[in-house]
Amino acid sequence: MYTIIVCGSLVPDPLQTLEPISGPSGPALKNEMMLPAWLDPWAGHALYEAANLAAHHPGSKVWLVCLGPKAKLQQVMMTVAQKVPFELIALDGSAGGFTDAAETAAALADAISAIPGLDLSKLLLCGGWESASRGAGATLQLVGERLGITDQFQGVDSLTIEPDGSLRILERVEGGKHQVSVCTGPPAVLGWATGNLPEPRNNPQVGMANMRGIMPALQKAKPAAVGTGDITFTAVSLPTQTRATQVIKDLPPEQIAADLVAWIKSE
């Protein structure tokens, strides 16, 4: 039986064009509140893996702890709620990439510690190994440290519970390999990469059950004053180099191949 807490928030739809602007409290995205948002992809994988684990271990429960602008969270939850069963804890604050991971982690750790009857010996603290916004891979470690959890794993693609209750974990390491570790049991921090599960289909029944808890959770979402912390940004810019692409048409495959091979072999 596990208490599985997934930390994850929202990010702008990856296919949107993003443009940085200078806001009152540091950099921000142009029209940030207007951009369609999604559940952060790696956090999404963590949520689906968590739900799958809970389904195989009766009595387990999944919490989703989200720090984001309340109105946006509500939109994103309309879809996420239909995927898998969970209970939401919402915090109302910025989910932008320029907020400091340390501030976000402090707010998340406080919210997690306030869960009534939280039993660390059953806790698996999950999330994406990196966000698609800040992309730092720092928040989960900081939440883990704040909760006193020193068995931590990042880039996780697989978690298996062994018959003796130990956790067998595969983490991404250099060169397309996985490191295999065995941890005696919870508590542990697991920053998920892609995992092995497809995105679950929408299930309206799950959605209805989830929404009963989600709406009150959103209503009582506490404000979280997260910002850029001690950072002073001196510049934020889009990459300017566009390449003068040479488009080559109507060249026979033999010539293209010769051209490519010469290029591949060149220093």
Partner 1 sequence: MSTLFLAHTEADGTLAKAALEALAATVQFAAALGTPFSVGLIGDNPGPAADAIASCGATRFLTISGAAFAQARYASDAAAAEALCRAAAATVVTVPATSRWNRVLPGVAHRLGGRADTHVTGLAAAAGQPQVSRWFYRQRMEATFTRSTRPWLLALEGGIAPAWQGAAGCAHAEAVALTLPAPRTSVVGFQAPASDQQTIRPDADLLFVTGAGWTKKQADGQVKVGEAGTLILDFLRLSRSSLGSTKSLVDLGGEGQAILPFLSHLNQVGQTGSTPRHAKGLATCCHGEEPHTVGWRFIGERRAISLDANCGWARGKADILYVADAFAVMKKVNELLG
Ligand X SMILES: Cc1cc2nc3c(=O)[nH]c(=O)nc-3n(C[C@H](O)[C@H](O)[C@H](O)COP(=O)(O)OP(=O)(O)OC[C@H]3O[C@@H](n4cnc5c(N)ncnc54)[C@H](O)[C@@H]3O)c2cc1C
Instruction: Please list every residue from 15 through 44 that binds ligand X, using CB under 6 A.
Output: 15, 41
CB of 224 to ligand X, least distance (A): 25
14 in contact with ligand X (CB under 6 A): yes
Cα 63-67-68 angle, rounded to 5 deg: 130
227 in contact with ligand X (CB under 6 A): no
Contact 99, 9 (CB under 8 A): no
247 in contact with ligand X (CB under 6 A): no
14 in contact with partner 1 (CB under 8 A): yes
Name the residue among 88, 129, 105, 94 with its Cα closest to residue 10.
94
Q: By CB under 6 A, what part of segment 109-148 binds ligand X? A: none
State which residue, 15 or 59, has the beta carbon closest to partner 1.
15
194 in contact with ligand X (CB under 6 A): no
154 in contact with partner 1 (CB under 8 A): yes
Question: Using the rule CB under 8 A, which residue among 141, 190, 214, 218 binds partner 1?
Answer: 141
CB of 207 to partner 1, least distance (A): 23
Contact 181, 153 (CB under 8 A): yes
Q: ω before 69 within 30° of 0 (cis)? A: no
Q: By CB under 8 A, what part of segment 216-255 binds partner 1? A: 229-239, 242-251, 253-254
266: alpha, beta or left? (left if phi > 0; alpha if psi -120 to 50)? beta
12 in contact with partner 1 (CB under 8 A): yes
Question: Using the rule CB under 8 A, which residue among 23, 27, 200, 213 binds partner 1?
Answer: 27
198 in contact with ligand X (CB under 6 A): no
Instruction: Report DSSP letters for 79-102, one per residue.
Output: HHTTTS--EEEEEES---TTS-HH
Q: Is the dihedral of CA 65, 69, 75, 76 positive or negative?
A: negative
Q: How many CB atoms lie within 10 A of CB 163?
A: 5
State which residue, 205 or 263, has the beta carbon closest to ligand X.
263
Q: By CB under 8 A, what part of segment 41-70 binds partner 1? A: 41-42
State which residue, 225 or 238, has the beta carbon closest to partner 1.
238
Spatial separation of the C-alpha atoms in residues 4 and 165, rounded to whole Å: 15
Residue whose beta carbon is closest to ligand X: 14
Q: By CB under 8 A, what part of segment 160-189 binds partner 1? A: 170-185, 189
Rounded alpha-carbon distances, angstroms, from residue 42 to 85, 132, 208, 241: 18, 8, 24, 29
Spatial separation of the C-alpha atoms in residues 107 and 223, rounded to whole Å: 10
163 binds, among partner 1, ligand X, none (CB under 5 to 8 A by kind): none
State which residue, 11 or 218, has the beta carbon closest to partner 1.
11
Spatial separation of the C-alpha atoms in residues 261 and 139, rounded to whole Å: 45
21 in contact with partner 1 (CB under 8 A): no
Residues that bind ligand X (CB under 6 A): 14-15, 41
